[in-house]
Amino acid sequence: MGRFSVIETGIKDLKVIKYDPFVDLRGYFFESYNKNDFTNLGIADEFVQDNESMSSKGVLRGLHFQIKYPQAKLVRCLKGKVFDVAVDIRKDSPTYGKYYGVELTEDNNTMFYVPKNFAHGFLVLSDTAKFSYKVTDFYHPNDEGGIIYNDPDLNIKWPIPCDESFKIMLSDKDTKNPRFKDL
């Protein structure tokens, strides 16, 4: 049996996963993914691709989703610190339009499972962050959707430092994302 535990988020199927690495004088080791262990946690997805990004402080990636080819994601921060957010965009869900945010760091032994049909994004809080995503479908460039990160209806509480040197950086595409109500 793996060394994983789940923290429920209050949104069906969305899960925070804590792991317990084996630590000794040499460093640490843990299985970051084991199909049997994750199935026992209620996550039976078939992951087909691993992605990794490196971003600098203030970069906000998201909120992104896929339209015809939705992806579930298993994400974690390999280096640095991010605030990671998932928004329920399942129209038949009782938590439609609700979000959950979690801090992921290189030290807090936490992963975030984001099911299909959620918008996802993260804000980098450290000088740099290396971020890992396992996904259940391949990237389809013409299948992207997005929601503006500061949508007043979603009212996401991004932990933006009150520091004049902290500036939010978005891609050109993300500056044009619509509001949630306009999807």
Q: Is the pLDDT of residue 33 over 60?
A: yes
Q: Is 32 part of any domain?
A: no
Residue 16 lies in a domain: yes
34 in a structural domain: no
The predicted model gives 144-173 an average pLDDT of 92
Q: How many CB atoms lie within 10 A of CB 63?
A: 27
Does any domain span residue 58?
yes
Residue 28 belongs to some domain of the structure: no
The total of structural domains in the chain comes to 1
Q: In this model, does residue 45 exceed pLDDT 90? A: yes
pLDDT (0 to 100) of residue 123? 97
Residue 154 lies in a domain: yes
Encode 32-82 in three state secondary structure: CCCHHHHHHCCCCCCCCEEEEEEEECCEEEEEEEECCCCCCEEEEEEECEE
Closest by alpha carbon to 57, among 11, 2, 124, 137?
124
Whole-angstrom distance, CA of residue 112 vs CA of residue 102: 8
Which residue range(s) make up the domain with 68?
4-23+49-182
Catalytic residues: 64, 133
Residue 90 lies in a domain: yes
Domain annotation covers residue 175:
yes
In this prediction, residue 2 has a pLDDT band, given cuts at 50, 70 and 90, of: low
pLDDT at 183 over 90: no
Tens-place pLDDT, residues 76-125: 999 999 999 999 999 999 999 999 999 999 999 999 999 999 999 999 99
Average pLDDT over residues 24-33: 92
Torsion of CA 36, 42, 45, 49, to 10 degrees: -70
CATH classification of the domain holding 9: 2.60.120.10
**Reported confidence tier of residue 1, pLDDT bands at 50, 70, 90:** very low
Cβ-contact 87, 99 below 8 angstroms: yes
